[in-house]
Chains A and B, each alone.
Chain A
Amino acid sequence: SAVISQKPSRDICQRGTSLTIQCQVDSQVTMMFWYRQQPGQSLTLIATANQGSEATYESGFVIDKFPISRPNLTFSTLTVSNMSPEDSSIYLCSVGTGGANEQFFGPGTRLTVL
Chain B
Amino acid sequence: AQSVTQLGSHVSVSEGALVLLRCNYSSSVPPYLFWYVQYPNKGLQLLLKYTSAATLVKGINGFEAEFKKSETSFHLTKPSAHMSDAAEYFCAVSEGRGTYKYIFGTGTRLKVLA
Contact = CB atoms under 8 A, between A and B. Distances in A.
Contacts, number: 49
A101 B100 contact: yes
A108 B97 CA distance: 27
Given A45-B101, A92-B43, A100 B107 contact: no
- Chain B, interface residues (CB within 8 Å), range: 20 to 34
Nearest to B103: A45
Interface residues of A, number: 22
Chain B binding surface, main DSSP class: loop
Interface in B69-111: 90, 94, 97, 99-102, 104-107
B45 A105 contact: yes
B32 A100 contact: yes
A67 interface: no
A73 B44 CA distance: 21
A101 B102 CA distance: 9
Contact of B104 (A43, A96, A102): A43
A99 B30 CA distance: 15
Contacts of A42: 90, 104-107
